Chain A
Amino acid sequence: MSIAKTLYDKIWDAHIVHSDPDGTCLLYIDRHLVHEVTSPQAFEGLRLSGRKVRAPEKTIAVPDHNVPTTENRDDGIDNEESRIQVEALDKNAKDFGVNYYPVSDIRQGIVHIVGPEQGWTLPGMTVVCGDSHTATHGAFGALAHGIGTSEVEHVLATQTLIQKKSKNMKVEITGKLRPGVTAKDITLAVIGETGTAGGTGYVIEYCGQAIRELSMEGRMTVCNMAIEGGARAGLIAPDEKTYEYCKGRPHSPKGTSWEMALAYWKTLFSDEGASFDKVVTIKGEDIAPLVTWGTSPEDVLPITAEVPDPESFSGGKVEAVRRSLEYMGLQAGQKLSEIEIDTVFIGSCTNGRIEDLRAASEILKGKKIKKGMRAMVVPGSGLVRMQAEEEGIAEIFREAGFEWRLAGCSMCLAMNPDQLEEGERCASTSNRNFEGRQGYRGRTHLVSPAMAAAAAITGKLTDVREIQ
């Protein structure tokens, strides 16, 4: 009888090129995604050593972090360093012959949205990118994780990575979600439970009824933030929804190749009795719409709660919470639902897909954002933007008072001109509430798209269930 394997075990085993007795493996990489910020030094390294890209057909590049999201962006990028970085990617993509979606291409967008959309990301693959949110692609049952620039160069040159296997962790979300609760709330709830270091050394497999019932978009949101819990990667076993999503995409297999792929994908699940090193179980019905109050994604509470007292924590976290509250300008005991905000950002690789925009527009339909509020929607790709325009969603956002932008990473990390001013407070659908993340001394509260829309209407963090 064969040994019961987890989904992670199966994908890992299928990609071993070579293994050393100490467990160090050379792992084959099926898809390498590349953006402009973490790749220039890697391409330069190849040039200096006279190396080529081993598999340009498996390498996909797209500029996303630095690109402006305003309508006039075809006029060029004002910031010189940003422009140089994007131009470097233009040149590197051309010189090394990799697949490329330049800024002018309608398919351009955030690399983690473009990959799945174009059918590059498929079940059972290994996917890497010089970007921690590569975890997103785990939603397809692909082993996907972020790497540093030295490793980007390693993958470009050899199409492999030197790795040691992580441990297996199972996160089960049982039962159904309550109304107003979304994939974003699931992933924040998990981080709230495990902490930002709880996943360190593990690959997480998310499972359970609430995960099965999510769309592919929702599953991408959940896996996207696996890294925020410290995990190397997040995985969800593929099912009919996955196959349906992949079918007919530009780079997904066709004809007999599709049939062959499908037969293989159907073997990608954790076997009955497979062993996990750690198991976390959360009841779907226990999850409320969540918001973050501090400067770490683990600083998360239901919208109905109050800002916690630093003294209620222990160890090094006491000082960290004190520092967070001072940075965030909040007092212990303050009701989260009374925190006033002045900016709303809807977008990012966490929540910049069509379903996210639909969810926010449902709340905004026929309403206006609060006077003086700065609210921005940045679709995750040119194709998401186009679809939202066709569905009338763009019009709802515009009518409500949102700025309707072009695709990119935008205010998620504020490398382009979309930034918070000092002291500004933002309800954001992005993934990190770190100090300065969205702009120097800016303050971030992480929320779901529906919660962000609700906050835009009322001008404060708001329980979406109270919006009629």
Chain B
Amino acid sequence: MEKFEKLSGVAAPMPLVNIDTDMIIPKVFLKTIKRSGLGVNLFDEMRYDREGNEKPDFVLNKPQYRNAKILVAGDNFGCGSSREHAPWAIADFGIKCVISTSFADIFYNNCFKNGILPLVLPEDAVDTLMKDAEKGANSIIEVDLENQTIVSSDGEIFRFEVDPFKKHCLLNGLDDIGLTMEKEDHIAAYESKASLQFPWT
């Protein structure tokens, strides 16, 4: 996995609440057996008309947000299905950080597996960053994972919380499976204990 240390870029504003994973990546794109190439279909039904033409009003179609690296979104972002295609599409588009007041649980976890930092901030901080994002291309927001800070284009600094283990994995681009396999002895010990205690499992 790609490391996430610092990020500096334009943020796209999506103030809508409850943006669900069906919006992020509609099911027609779940038929792939690969992880790559989904960025072009990110927010597909909001972004294109039925003929595949771009809808000019949609935020990521506006010239100033085409290279957005950050998304500032309304509450409960990523609700709905467990599809990891949602963070795959976001990362493939080039967005590496999503900021909201809350995220759905499974989506939140999926982000960390794909080098995306989902940031939960209080409502007033999200409001400030949303307004900042609305300024467009001249408004560069900076994210520093090591120091857990985010700096608005006006220089206002917000501190964010992140789980230490998830932070460590993201900073170092670590593969969870490799880490868990180092605990093989513990897994084997659990299995032999469980085979006596819960033989029906």
- A85 CB contacts on chain B under 8 angstroms: 31, 33
Complex Cα spacing A434 to B27, Å: 12
Contact with A along B38-72 (1 / 0, CB 8 A): 00000001000010000000000000000000000
* Given A260-B200, A434-B20, A436-B45, CB of A153 within 8 Å of CB of B76: no
Q: Report yes or no: B190 in contact with A28, Cβ–Cβ below 8 A.
A: yes
- B84 CB contacts on chain A under 8 angstroms: 38, 41, 130, 148-150
CB closest chain-A residue, reference B111: A148
Say which residue of A28, A197, A296 sits within 8 Å of B194 (CB atoms): A28
Q: B102 interface residue, CB < 8 Å from A?
A: yes
Q: Report yes or no: A151 in contact with B113, Cβ–Cβ below 8 A.
A: yes
Q: Report yes or no: B180 in contact with A316, Cβ–Cβ below 8 A.
A: no
Q: A286 interface residue, CB < 8 Å from B?
A: no
Q: Report yes or no: A132 in contact with B106, Cβ–Cβ below 8 A.
A: yes
What class of interface size applies to chain A in its complex with B? Answer: 35 or more
- A54 CB contacts on chain B under 8 angstroms: 187
- B183 CB contacts on chain A under 8 angstroms: 17-18, 26
Q: B105 interface residue, CB < 8 Å from A?
A: yes
Of B10-18, B91-99, B133-141, B148-156, the one contacting chain A is B10-18
Distance from B129 Cβ to chain A, minimum over Cβ atoms (Å): 14
Contact with B along A115-142 (1 / 0, CB 8 A): 0000000101100001110100000000
Say which residue of B16, B165, B187, B201 sits within 8 Å of A323 (CB atoms): B16
Contact with A along B101-122 (1 / 0, CB 8 A): 0111110011001100000000
Q: A37 interface residue, CB < 8 Å from B?
A: yes
Distance from A195 Cβ to chain B, minimum over Cβ atoms (Å): 8
Distance from B154 Cβ to chain A, minimum over Cβ atoms (Å): 23
Q: Report yes or no: B199 in contact with A320, Cβ–Cβ below 8 A.
A: no
Q: Report yes or no: B80 in contact with A20, Cβ–Cβ below 8 A.
A: no
Contact with B along A432-452 (1 / 0, CB 8 A): 101111001000000000000
Q: Report yes or no: A24 in contact with B113, Cβ–Cβ below 8 A.
A: no
How many interface residues does B have (CB within 8 Å)? 55
CB closest chain-B residue, reference A230: B104
Complex Cα spacing A43 to B81, Å: 20
Of A159-167, A331-339, A384-392, the one contacting chain B is A159-167
Complex Cα spacing A435 to B17, Å: 13
Distance from A274 Cβ to chain B, minimum over Cβ atoms (Å): 22
Q: B157 interface residue, CB < 8 Å from A?
A: no
Q: A158 interface residue, CB < 8 Å from B?
A: yes
Complex Cα spacing A248 to B30, Å: 37
Q: A88 interface residue, CB < 8 Å from B?
A: yes
Q: A414 interface residue, CB < 8 Å from B?
A: yes
Distance from A226 Cβ to chain B, minimum over Cβ atoms (Å): 11
Q: Which of B183-201 contact A (CB under 8 A)?
A: 183, 186-187, 190-191, 194, 198-201
Q: Report yes or no: B180 in contact with A160, Cβ–Cβ below 8 A.
A: yes
- A88 CB contacts on chain B under 8 angstroms: 33
Complex Cα spacing A306 to B173, Å: 51
* Given A17-B183, A157-B177, A162-B176, CB of A201 within 8 Å of CB of B22: no
Distance from B5 Cβ to chain A, minimum over Cβ atoms (Å): 21
CB closest chain-B residue, reference A253: B200
Complex Cα spacing A30 to B197, Å: 13
Complex Cα spacing A147 to B201, Å: 21
Distance from B134 Cβ to chain A, minimum over Cβ atoms (Å): 14
Complex Cα spacing A432 to B110, Å: 21
Q: A368 interface residue, CB < 8 Å from B?
A: no
- A148 CB contacts on chain B under 8 angstroms: 82-84, 87, 106, 109-110, 113
Complex Cα spacing A59 to B16, Å: 39
Q: Report yes or no: B75 in contact with A17, Cβ–Cβ below 8 A.
A: no
Say which residue of B15, B80, B176 sits within 8 Å of A434 (CB atoms): B80
- A150 CB contacts on chain B under 8 angstroms: 84, 110, 113-114, 176
Distance from A135 Cβ to chain B, minimum over Cβ atoms (Å): 10
* Given A150-B110, A154-B180, CB of A81 within 8 Å of CB of B17: no
Distance from A81 Cβ to chain B, minimum over Cβ atoms (Å): 4
Complex Cα spacing A162 to B181, Å: 12
Q: Which of A16-57 contact B (CB under 8 A)?
A: 17-18, 20, 22, 24, 26, 28, 30, 37-38, 40-41, 44, 49, 51, 54
- A66 CB contacts on chain B under 8 angstroms: 31
Q: Report yes or no: A316 in contact with B80, Cβ–Cβ below 8 A.
A: no
Q: Report yes or no: A30 in contact with B105, Cβ–Cβ below 8 A.
A: no
Contact with B along A289-325 (1 / 0, CB 8 A): 0000000101000000000000000011101100100
Give the interface of A toward B (CB within 8 A): 14, 17-18, 20, 22, 24, 26, 28, 30, 37-38, 40-41, 44, 49, 51, 54, 58, 65-66, 79, 81-82, 84-85, 88, 122, 124-125, 130-132, 134, 145-151, 153-154, 157-160, 162, 164, 196-197, 200-201, 227, 230-232, 252-253, 257-258, 260-261, 264, 296, 298, 315-317, 319-320, 323, 413-415, 422, 432, 434-437, 440
Q: Give me 12 other A-B pairs in contact (C-beta within 8 A), A28-B190, A124-B198 excluded.
A: A22-B163, A85-B31, A146-B106, A147-B109, A150-B84, A150-B114, A154-B180, A316-B17, A413-B81, A414-B27, A415-B31, A440-B26
26 contacts across the A-B interface (CB closer than 8 A):
A17-B187, A18-B183, A22-B164, A38-B82, A58-B201, A81-B31, A88-B33, A125-B201, A132-B82, A148-B83, A148-B106, A150-B114, A150-B176, A154-B176, A154-B180, A159-B187, A200-B103, A230-B105, A253-B199, A261-B198, A319-B15, A319-B16, A319-B17, A414-B27, A415-B27, A440-B50
